[in-house]
Structure 1
Amino acid sequence: MTQPTSPSPEFYAEYTPAAPPAALPRPPLRLSCVVPAFNEAVNLPRFIPALAEAVAQLTPHFEIVIVNDGSTDATHTVAMELVAHSGLPLRYLALSRNFGKEAALSAGIDHTRGNAVVLIDGDFQHPLDLLPEMHDLWQRGYDMVYGVIADRGAESGAKRVGTHLFYRIMNAGNSVKMPPNAGDYRWLDRKVANALKALPERHRFMKGLYAWVGFKTAALPFVPLDRAAGASSFNLRRLGSLALLGLTSFTTLPLRVWSVIGALVALAALLYGGWITLETLLFGADLAGWPTLAASIMLFSGVQLMSIGILGEYIGRIYDEVKQRPSYLLARDEDHSSLRSNDNV
Structure 2
Amino acid sequence: MNDLSRASELNASIRGNFRGPVRATDLSFVVPAFNEEANIAESIRRIHHHARRLVSSHEIIVVDDGSTDGTLEKTRAVGAQIPLRVIRLSRNFGKEQAIMAGLENAVGAAVVVMDADLQEPLQVLETMLAHRAEGFEVVFATRAHRKDESFAKRLFTSVFYKLLNLGAEAPIPADARDFRLMDRRVVDALCALPERNRFMKGLYGWVGFRTKSVPIELKRRQGGKSKFGFRGLLRLGLTGMTSFTTWPLRVWTGIGFSIAILSILYGLWIMFRTLMFGVDVPGWSTLTVAIFLLGGVQLISIGVLGEYLGRVFTEVKGRPGYIIADVINTEEGCLR
| TM-score between both structures, scaled by the size of structure 1 | 0.87
Pick aligned residue for 1:259 from 253, 262, 266: 253
Is 1:38–1:75's contact at 8 Å kept on the other side of the alignment? yes
Amino acid at match of 2:136: Y
What residue in structure 1 maps to residue 41 of structure 2? 45
Alignment of structure 1 residues 181-220 onto 2, 5 Å: 181-220=175-214
Is 1:33–1:65's contact at 8 Å kept on the other side of the alignment? yes
CA distance in 2, matches of 1:257, 1:222: 37
Amino acid at match of 1:253: W
Amino acid at match of 1:220: V
What residue in structure 2 maps to residue 316 of structure 1? 310
CA distance in 1, matches of 2:109, 2:285: 69
Alignment of structure 1 residues 98-109 onto 2, 5 Å: 98-109=92-103
What residue in structure 2 maps to residue 12 of structure 1? none
Asked whether 1:300 is paired with 2:294, we answer: yes
Is 1:67–1:92's contact at 8 Å kept on the other side of the alignment? yes
SS at 1:162 equivalent: helix
What residue in structure 1 maps to residue 215 of structure 2? 221
- What displacement does 1:108 show? 0.5
Change (3 A) 1:236 1:184: same
Is 2:132–2:139's contact at 8 Å kept on the other side of the alignment? yes
What residue in structure 1 maps to residue 57 of structure 2? 61
4+ runs deviating over 4 angstroms: none
- What displacement does 1:337 show? 5.6
Asked whether 1:272 is paired with 2:269, we answer: no
CA distance in 2, matches of 1:92, 1:34: 10
CA distance in 2, matches of 1:100, 1:333: 18
1:49-89 Cα offsets, whole Å, 9 max, x none, are 11110111111310100001111111121122223x12x22
CA distance in 2, matches of 1:157, 1:262: 34
CA distance in 2, matches of 1:331, 1:264: 53
1:31-60 Cα offsets, whole Å, 9 max, x none, are 100000011001012111111101111113
What residue in structure 2 maps to residue 72 of structure 1? 68
Amino acid at match of 1:124: L
- What displacement does 1:279 show? 2.1
Alignment of structure 1 residues 113-192 onto 2, 5 Å: 113-192=107-186
Alignment of structure 1 residues 76-87 onto 2, 5 Å: 76-83=72-79, 85-86=80-81
CA distance in 2, matches of 1:266, 1:297: 14
- What displacement does 1:282 show? 2.4
CA distance in 1, matches of 2:207, 2:169: 12
CA distance in 2, matches of 1:29, 1:62: 6
Amino acid at match of 1:126: E
Is 1:63–1:337's contact at 8 Å kept on the other side of the alignment? no
Amino acid at match of 2:144: A
- RMSD of aligned Cα (Å): 1.4
CA distance in 2, matches of 1:110, 1:328: 11
Is 1:62–1:89's contact at 8 Å kept on the other side of the alignment? no
Gaps of 5+ in 1: 1-27, 339-345
What residue in structure 2 maps to residue 10 of structure 1? none
Amino acid at match of 2:298: Q
- What displacement does 1:112 show? 0.3
Asked whether 1:32 is paired with 2:35, we answer: no
What residue in structure 2 maps to residue 249 of structure 1? 243
What residue in structure 1 maps to residue 9 of structure 2? none
CA distance in 1, matches of 2:331, 2:28: 10
- What displacement does 1:289 show? 1.4
CA distance in 2, matches of 1:104, 1:257: 34
Which moves more between the two structures, 160-169 or 190-199? 160-169
SS at 2:171 equivalent: coil
Gaps of 5+ in 2: 1-23
- What displacement does 1:29 show? 6.7
Change (3 A) 1:337 1:208: farther
| TM-score between both structures, scaled by the size of structure 2 | 0.89
Amino acid at match of 1:186: R
1:283-319 Cα offsets, whole Å, 9 max, x none, are 3333341221121111111111100100110010000
CA distance in 1, matches of 2:51, 2:188: 22
Total equivalences in the alignment: 309
CA distance in 1, matches of 2:172, 2:268: 45
Amino acid at match of 1:305: L
Asked whether 1:283 is paired with 2:277, we answer: yes
- What displacement does 1:199 show? 0.4
SS at 1:94 equivalent: strand
